[in-house]
Amino acid sequence: MLALKGGSGSWLRNLLSRERVRQTLLLYSSEIGLIVLTFGTGILNSRFLGPSQYGIYTFVITIIEAAMIFTGFGFPQAGARLVALAKKRHDEQ
């Protein structure tokens, strides 16, 4: 096993002290929470709605998601890229 310089927890504290690492961990943990919440909601909906009502619900959700794909056209990704580029330019100055 590899012994780390400065104690067993200092590398973790050093890693977590970086702003980008904390933001990344927050982003991933919120994504995981959203996945768990979506899974739980699906289970509850299938339990409380009957088969035909759940089918209608799933159909409506599918139509809404398809419309969101066609109306988005990558604008959120483009906005995130513009923010990153602006931050990079600001940091270079």
The amino acid sitting at 7 is: G
**How open is the CA angle 72-78-80, to the nearest 5 degrees?**
110
Closest residue by Cα to residue 87 from 15, 19, 31: 19
How far apart are the C-alpha atoms of 79 and 86, rounded to whole Å?
11
Mean of the per-residue pLDDT values of the chain: 82
d(CA 74, CA 63): 19
pLDDT in tens, 11-36: 777 777 777 778 888 888 999 999 99
**What's the whole-model pTM score?**
0.49
| Contact status, residue 38 vs residue 47, Cβ threshold 8 Å | no
Question: Average pLDDT in the 68-93 region?
Answer: 78
22 Cβ contact list (under 8 Å, min separation 6): 16
Tokens encoding 57: 């619900």
